[in-house]
Amino acid sequence: MIRILLLLAVLAVATEARAERYYSRTVVRTTAADDAADMARTGRFGHRGTAGCREGIGYGSTPEQALANCCFNDGRYRIREKAVFRGANGRYYAVIRYEN
């Protein structure tokens, strides 16, 4: 299971796809891994910003369940990047970003 998480984290970091988040005139570029890690760290489940790309988020008791719970994760859209991180509460948080 740890191997899966490490592989997902490496794949998410390796991708060039980025989303933009705007905070009072400052643009912060984030990846799916950044956003999943933020949800895991804070325990707050929600979208962080996608710069117009389709995004699914999910959580569950296993990495596989978290990914399966993400919106649009039914094969209709091509995956651009994805990441899963475990929170201190024991839940796994997932983010999948899709090609438009």
Digit-coded pLDDT (tens) for 22-64: 443 444 468 899 999 999 999 999 887 666 688 999 999 999 9
Digit-coded pLDDT (tens) for 54-88: 899 999 999 999 999 999 999 999 999 999 999 99
How buried is 11 (Cβ within 10 angstroms: 0-12 exposed, 13-18 middle, 19+ buried)?
middle
Number of neighbours of residue 70 by Cβ within 10 angstroms: 22
Q: Can you name the residues that pair with 81 across neighbouring β-strands?
A: 97
